[in-house]
Amino acid sequence: MAEEERPEDMKKGLSHKEKRKEYTFNKLKELGQGIVADVEQKKVPSLKIPSRGTGNIVYDDAKKYYVLGDRYGRRSLGNVKQIRKMGQMVFTANFCKDLVQREKTATIREMYYVSEGWGVEFNTQQESNTVGEDLEVALGTTREDLGLMPEEDGASVYGDLTLLDDDVELNAKKSGKSGYTISPTIDQVEFLDCGVERVLAVETMGMFHRLVQENAYDRFNTLVVGLKGQAARATRRFIKRLNTELNLPVYICNDGDPWGFHIAQVIISGSAKLAHVNYDLATPNAQFIGVTASDIINYDLPTDPLKDIDVLRLKELSKDPRYQTDFWQTEIKKMLKIGKKAEQQSFSKYGLEYIVDTYFPHKLGIEE
């Protein structure tokens, strides 16, 4: 989606959900109208699709996330090798137009089976996934706005945030011990009221439940987000919306290893694979607060030795454009030097409550 043309820029008076729906529906109509216009003008119908190849994925230093470059290709009915793929895109676009119009959703797996009746069915799930990604990049929208859902669950959220989800008003502090589960259709959810000052996202559900049990949501006036490992697209979009729409600062705490570093950085700067939608998913001003290599040393945490694959991954991260700040370079080098890694739960060495009583107040700059 081009930065200068966003759903948020559409006419006032529409809700967030309505803006996203109208934008996506119009984009789908434009695609169909373009094909019809080509036929009426006796031209060979074709679709312009930005390239998602590695050569067209660049790290934008100003935006602080990966974006697509200027290269693009054309999928044309004039090319025998492209006829099937273009047919699949058109059928998929029509399928999505129906979903958007009726405000329904389908999983990516369901679309794979629905294609059996198209005459240009997908041979594999991966082929279906690729066409879905081609469509979102061609239209400048997201598969979620197109009504296509993943099978994965979103993160758990706990704290004083009131939302309107499918016409049901919910408060994430009054939705049971596991809180509110982020909807895959998070852009159809409206934020009604917010009583927190910050967002604290943690990698593991064990740490999420520790924070809830110790009343961290009240003590730190924070919204606690349990990422469940690598954050799903809906989770990253949710965090982005909290940051941009509610102006909430975002803090991330993961395991102290290269994989925890990467989970944080995908939230902050997005991924290369999703360069075409990072404008909606990345939160560049989110802060990784730990567990760092410095924490491992300063808090004398229980550790495990780095495995060869950990060392290799750290060396890869050191060359990644997302990790070129002094902070990241220092922590990566320090972890390689000590040859150790530590889990979030390792703070339990000092007692179950220590991480909430001592570590987080220090990292968040909060005096209780």
Closest CA to 152 of 187, 107, 190: 107
**Dist CA 318 CA 176 (whole Å):** 41
Tokens of 182: 């982020």
Contact indicator for 170, 162 with CB cutoff of 8 Å: yes
Q: Which residues contact 94 (CB under 8 A, 6 or more apart)?
A: 32
**Dist CA 236 CA 281 (whole Å):** 5
**Residues with catalytic annotation?**
113
The DSSP element (H or E) to which 63 belongs, if any, is none
**Dist CA 217 CA 150 (whole Å):** 29
Residue 263 vs residues 143, 190, 206, 238, 319: alpha-carbon distances, Å: 22, 26, 16, 15, 17
